[in-house]
């Protein structure tokens, strides 16, 4: 407990799923938490704020639209004005509801919309937060939430995977350019994380395929990603920067035919 005591943490896309999981664990570790989301219903917003406040930490909500630079500027400016600093920035928000597909299915408008939300938005919020982190004697930690979609080609989600691959490289660029000024930047790449929102929409057949390829005997939970983000946001990771940390239960750590050979009760080779 208190590994993030008195640190100010901005967490984008933190009203559900992985982002909310990070906010809950950050609050339990003593951080002052800035919740943000897009078009969040008033009742849900209040419910989240009430839950976080029960942990005895300071918290407030700010609407954010990754497509709107002024919205991003406002989030960072209000946080700095309220707390006087920004210690941690967790870039979790991404628009996964935008239409995507194979290369021949994608239009330029679809491609641009996904890159504008998932890569440009991440770039710009980092750009806006950097001046406040540079003024902070303790520096800062930037944590980007990536995707296992960048681990290899897939049948769809072409624009999304390419945008997230850009987030991987942005992570390393920021780490290099600002490391000497006491700002670290890392990326957490989740595997299949079961959230209250996605569990009922994922078909059992798909769940079975994933579980057969995950090395441990369960799906990921938001807390798994949150725990990695606590480490990267805390002083414990002071010598860790420019890293892409995959948190997927080992899903991407073996050759792709392992599940089939296991079903045959045979070794791979």
Active site residues per annotation:
160
Phi, psi angles (nearest 5°) of residue 246:
-90, 120
Query: How close are the terminal C-alpha atoms of the chain, in Å?
Result: 46
For residues 12 and 9, give the distance between their C-alpha atoms in angstroms, rounded to a whole number: 10
Whole-number Å distance between alpha carbons of 197 and 213: 22
Element (H, E) at 126: helix 121-135
Task: Tell me which DSSP letter residue 149 carries.
Answer: G
Cα 266 to chain centroid distance, Å, stands at 37
What value, to the nearest 5°, has the Cα angle with vertex 193 and ends 190 and 199? 155
Name the phi and psi angles at 145, rounded to 5: -95, 115
The Cα–Cα gap between 214 and 134 comes to 40
């Amino acid at each position: 407990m208190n590994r993030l005591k008195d640190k100010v943490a901005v967490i984008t896309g933190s009203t559900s799923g992985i982002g909310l999981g990070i906010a809950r664990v950050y609050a339990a570790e003593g951080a002052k938490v800035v919740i943000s989301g897009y078009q969040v219903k008033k009742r849900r917003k209040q419910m989240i704020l009430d839950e976080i406040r029960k942990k005895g930490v300071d918290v407030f909500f700010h609407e954010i639209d990754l497509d709107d630079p002024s919205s991003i500027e406002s989030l960072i400016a209000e946080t700095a004005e309220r707390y006087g600093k920004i210690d941690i920035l967790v870039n979790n928000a991404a628009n996964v509801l935008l239409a995507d597909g194979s290369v021949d299915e994608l239009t330029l408008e679809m491609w641009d919309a996904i890159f504008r939300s998932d890569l440009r938005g991440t770039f710009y919020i980092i750009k806006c937060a950097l001046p406040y982190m540079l003024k902070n004697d303790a520096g800062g930690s930037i944590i980007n939430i990536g995707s296992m979609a960048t681990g290899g080609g897939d049948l769809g989600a072409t624009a999304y995977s390419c945008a997230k691959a850009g987030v991987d490289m942005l992570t390393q660029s920021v780490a290099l350019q600002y490391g000497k000024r006491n700002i670290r930047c890392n990326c957490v790449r989740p595997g299949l994380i079961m959230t209250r929102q996605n569990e009922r929409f994922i078909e059992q057949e798909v769940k079975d395929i994933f579980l057969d390829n995950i090395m441990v005997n369960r799906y990921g939970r938001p807390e798994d990603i949150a725990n990695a983000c606590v480490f990267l946001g805390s002083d414990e990771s002071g010598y860790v920067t420019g890293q892409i940390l995959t948190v997927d239960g080992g899903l991407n750590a073996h050759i792709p035919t392992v599940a089939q050979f296991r079903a045959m009760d045979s070794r791979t080779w």
